[in-house]
Structures are given as structure tokens and as C-alpha cells.
Amino acid sequence: MDLQADIKWISKELETVKDETLIEAFKNMLKYRTKKIQSERISIEQYNKELDDAEARVENGEFYTQEEVEKMMEKW
């Protein structure tokens, strides 16, 4: 397949996805790609903010255990 055909196929498949976890995973991959493309170092303030945000999510129970992720992967 060529690149444009792959993009078209991916777009078509994404329209049918109903699994919120899978959508979130795609979003994170695309966000990571964007950050990687920018390839700029973040400030220490931004770094600390991201750490604080991550810790807050964990404290609020907004995370998946290894077992939960493995069960989700079985459904893919």
C-alpha cells in the first residue's frame, strides 16, 4: 500500500472505533508525535507541571493497572 492509501484506510477504520480507550491511545500517540516533531526542550516549569498533572491523575485514580491494560489489549 502507498502512504495515501494507508491514510485513507486508517481514516475509514477510525470512523468505526467505539472503544474510548483505543481512541485515547490514538490521541496520545498523535500528541507524542507532535511533541517529537517539535523536538524542543521544555522548560523546567513545564516539566514540573506535567509531573504534577500526572501525579494528580494517579491520585484521582485516573490510571490503568497492568492487568487492566492486558485485558483491554485482548479485545483489540
Longest dimension (CA), the chain: 44
Lowest mean per-residue pLDDT among 24-33, 44-53, 61-70: 24-33
pLDDT at 20: 87
Going by pLDDT thresholds of 50, 70 and 90, the confidence category of residue 38 is: low
56-68, pLDDT tens digit by residue? 999 999 999 999 9
Q: Which helix (H) or strand (E) holds 74?
A: helix 66-75
**What's the mean per-residue pLDDT of the chain?**
86
7-20, pLDDT tens digit by residue? 999 899 888 988 88
The answer to whether 40 touches 46, Cβ cutoff 8 Å, is no
Output the pTM of the full model: 0.42
